[in-house]
Chains A and B, each alone.
Chain A
Amino acid sequence: MNKDVMVCGVGGQGTVLASKIIAAAAMEEGSTVHSAETIGMAQRGGSVTSHIRVGEDAFSPLIPFGGADLLLAFEVGEAVRNLKYLKADGVAVVNTAAVMPVTESLQSTGYDGSAMAAYLRDRCTCIFVNSEEVCRPFGSSRFFNMIILGVAAASGKLGISTETLLKEIEKRVPARYTDINKKAFLAGCEIGGKASR
């Protein structure tokens, strides 16, 4: 299987852990995996991306434009920024909640993400989730990475079984947070399952 998955968001949203779990789970299922992350200065409130390339047919560490089967966007504006990576028939799982950058607060441009969501809706197959809504039962936006991972898994577009992903969550999340992270993942699965029906 060859599959390219792009994870994008804003520094601090937990994109790195989500992408590590995807990569590890794909390997667990027997695939060759390569990935790459943008780290460094970009970490501090900047745009972050992880490129996960599953299969033998990947050479570039970054997914070429128009190559991603799945775009996992933790922030709606970042989804638009990285839409160029998505295949013509690719699917985007998008958090509609906007993260305001300092520059926007200073200039009061009124960025709230709604124009971004509308733009995406017209241009690709989208599964929208709102982090504020779906994280409410968990009391913290910290668990959104597991929720969106669950959405992607249950939608069938990730090509990895939920069981394998759950196992990797268990391995990679500190023991005292395992249960709540698994719950968040399963809550995401429920949303993803409905969305793909």
Chain B
Amino acid sequence: MREYVMGNGAIALGALAAGVNLVAGYPGTPSSEIIETVSKYPHEGVHLEWSVNEKAALEVAAAAAYSGARALVTMKQMGLNVASDALMSVAYVGVKGGLVVVSADDPGPISSQTEQDTRRYASFCRIPVFDPSSPEEAFEMVQDAFDYSEKYGRPVLLRPTTRICHAYASIEIPEHYAPKAYDGFQKDSRRWVIFPKASYLNHGKMEAENVEIGREFSSYRFNTAEGKSSGKAVVTSGVSYAYVKECLKHSGDVKIIRIATAFPFPEDFALRELEGIREVLCLEELSPCLEEQILITAGRHHLDLTVHGKTDGTVPFNGENSAELTGEILQKFLGTSFSADVRDLSDAPPLPVRPPVLCAGCPHRASFYAVKQAMKGRKTVFCGDIGCYTLGNAMPLDMVDTCLCMGAGITMAQGFSHTDHDAVCFGFVGDSTFFASGMTGVVNAVCNEADMILCVLDNSTTAMTGHQPHPGTGRNMMGHVVDKVDIAKVLEGIGVKTVVTVNPFDTAACVDLVRKLADEKGVRAVIFKAPCIALVKSDRKCSVDADKCIHCKKCIREIGCPALTTDGKTAVIDPGLCTGCGLCTKICPTGAIGGETHE
């Protein structure tokens, strides 16, 4: 059966074909569609969950793997930072069933905070990593990863990048697949309880095995060499390999060495293929993992080899590669041109800038606007967090002063309250992020006497990554309706004395409430509760009365709603975008905007 699927879909189907028994993860671009694909294909007998965060996902999966089951964990690269505590230890303890951790990297970065390289985690945790260069390979490699994981009893990383995750290809998937049979957990505290003595012994064993795996990877089917050479070679991996192939498909006197397993490095393979090579160009995204290994190999074996790449400035460290950039670098390396005629567009009229914005009707806009109005003239710090509401930083709202990492808004607001005593310190957090890593921060605020206002922007979904359920939504990935975890009750349980739930579109009430809370002390919480516009479709529309509109553009300047524009004479509302939230009707000084609203 052939299926046209996204790279993430290929990973999901590869795992199902490998007989995976449990799949867990936390949403994060570009990895989210892996679990969504599993849920859309037959997966009878597979436990599937969006875990509360990546660390929880990895620990749930580790237990499955201790029991002999095959487990897949999915996350974006930042999520691996959260899960790294568990990963490092499970690398030492080992597994019985296959444990494959997919951590999707995001060169660019396109929708991430950092350009970290998961392959570094592989060498840091001393576990194997597979780096596919196409969706087709990702499908095969996830199956290989399970086999290696079980063969050596170690967790294994699969590291796709955005361009692989979000590329589509046609994959041949088996008609029938079934979860693997496994024997269950066997008690053995010397094996499953991590202790210094056991870790000392396991560390030695891991390093010895890595030498063996490196040898085995020297004949791995996706570590390949092609093309003839007069002494020059390109060492590459992942999507960069596809770019090199794209550039060299019609010409090029160069050998292409592709290394899909950066760790353990297949040194025998590299040595074999570098024979007769005098000059190497290393083309990889993110960190110079292969490049460093080539330099080490050249040093150890006294190779007469010049190595170009990131470490000598030939290839940029930051940003993603592309066919164009690859063509330019190859041109310098080989002295021939590989790029097509590209139009000169330097005389083009200025292009409209389209930064991502909060959707028309987004409840976050109303929440931010209310807090902004309430705090006019007051000294404030607005600590933001990760999610759609990070977009509250854009003009004209300008309501995000800091954004660091998942859950940090709550804890950073505390830090500011201890160091900047006249400021009213706000921590904004979304509902999914609250559960993922916000709750412990609230405990910290209560016990350490922070003075802050916690604003939970509860839109009943994980909106940014594609509307995944979370503990507050009352349904899970097994298709079951479950008890909702109530955010207000959680906060009360932690000991937050003031917890108020409001409708963010009731602007006047929100402004009054925030003003009142700003004059109180301690930890105060407001839950701004209204569903994401993508969850509850609205037929309500607002419209502008052209006779009353004085074209002051206050509506546009105050809230930056994408449905609001001007035709040069009056404000105009795009009925295709407007949800009738009515926020703009409260701003218009002449009452020119009307229509159905929430009130």
Contact = CB atoms under 8 A, between A and B. Distances in A.
B356 A65 contact: no
A57 B249 contact: yes
B246 A101 contact: no
Contacts of B322: 60, 62, 64
Contacts of B556: 105-106
B388 interface: yes
A132 to B, nearest CB: 11
Contacts, number: 158
B391 A102 contact: no
Interface string A54-78: 0001111110111100000000010
Contacts of A86: 343
A67 B342 CA distance: 9
A45 B246 contact: no
Nearest to B2: A27
Interface string B163-188: 11011111000000000000000000
Interface residues of B, number: 59
B204 to A, nearest CB: 42
Interface of A is mostly: mixed
Interface string B1-31: 0001000000000000000000000000110
A94 to B, nearest CB: 14
Given A106-B396, A106-B556, A106-B560, A101 B353 contact: yes
B562 A102 contact: yes
B562 A41 contact: no
A42 interface: yes
Interface stretch (B43-51, B194-202, B237-245, B305-313): B237-245
What bracket does the count of chain A residues touching chain B fall in?
35 or more
A64 B354 contact: no
Contacts of B324: 64-65
Interface string A39-58: 11111111100000000011
A35 B353 CA distance: 25
B348 A40 contact: no
A191 interface: no
B342 A65 contact: yes
B352 interface: yes
A104 B342 contact: no
B323 A60 contact: yes
Given A23-B4, A60-B243, A67 B340 contact: yes
A127 interface: no
Contacts of A140: 576
Given A45-B357, A59-B246, A84-B342, 12 more contacts: A23-B4, A40-B110, A41-B111, A41-B464, A44-B358, A59-B249, A61-B242, A64-B324, A64-B327, A80-B348, A101-B355, A101-B562
20 contacts: A36-B166, A41-B110, A42-B356, A45-B359, A59-B242, A59-B245, A60-B239, A60-B245, A61-B242, A64-B322, A64-B327, A65-B339, A65-B342, A77-B352, A84-B342, A98-B352, A101-B352, A101-B353, A102-B357, A111-B352
